[in-house]
Structure 1
Amino acid sequence: MKLLLVEDDFDLAGVLGHSLSTRGFEVLCCGDGLEALTAARKNSFDVVVLDLTLPRLDGLELLQRLRADGNQTPVLVLTARGAVSERIVGLEAGADDYLAKPFDLDELVARLRALTRRLGRDGDLRCGQVRYEATSRAFYRDQSPLDLSPRESELLKRLMSRVDHVVPKEELRLAVFGADDAAQPDAVEVLVHRLRKKLQGASAEILTLRGVGYLLCDESSSAAQRSGAR
Structure 2
Amino acid sequence: MNKLLLVEDDYHLGLILNDQLEMNGYEIKLLREPNKTVETLLEESFDLVIMDKLLKVMDGTQVCEAIRNTQGVSNIPILMMSGLDGAKETCIAAGANNFIAKPFEVDSFIKSIKATIEKTKDFQN
TM-score for both structures, normalised by structure 1 = 0.50
Structure 2: runs of 5 or more not aligned: none
* Partner AA of 2:14 in structure 1: A
1:4·1:45 contact (CA, 8 Å) conserved in 2? yes
Structure 1: runs of 5 or more not aligned: 125-230
CA distance in 2: counterparts of 1:15 and 1:24, whole angstroms: 15
Deviation at 1:31, TM superposition (A): 1.5
Percent sequence identity over aligned pairs: 27
Matched, 1:77 2:58: no
TM-score for both structures, normalised by structure 2 = 0.88
Matched, 1:35 2:46: no
Greater helix proportion: 2
Deviation at 1:39, TM superposition (A): 1.2
Report the count of equivalent residues. Answer: 122
Q: Which runs of 4+ in 1 moved over 3 A?
A: 121-124
Matched, 1:25 2:23: no
Deviation at 1:90, TM superposition (A): 1.0
CA distance in 2: counterparts of 1:37 and 1:9, whole angstroms: 19
Q: Structure 1 residues 121, 75: closer, same or farther in 2, change over 3 A?
A: farther
SS at match of 1:119: helix
Deviation at 1:58, TM superposition (A): 2.0
* Partner AA of 2:81 in structure 1: L
CA distance in 2: counterparts of 1:41 and 1:82, whole angstroms: 32
1:32·1:55 contact (CA, 8 Å) conserved in 2? no
Greater Cα shift, 68-77 or 50-59: 50-59
Deviation at 1:37, TM superposition (A): 2.6
Matched, 1:98 2:78: no
**Structure 2 counterparts to residues 1-230 of structure 1, below 5 A:** 1-70=2-71, 71-83=74-86, 86-120=87-121, 122-123=123-124
Deviation at 1:123, TM superposition (A): 4.1
CA distance in 2: counterparts of 1:115 and 1:56, whole angstroms: 26
Using CA pairs below 8 Å that are at least 6 residues apart, which structure has the higher relative contact order? 2
What is the alpha-carbon root mean square deviation over aligned residues? Answer: 1.6
Deviation at 1:82, TM superposition (A): 3.4
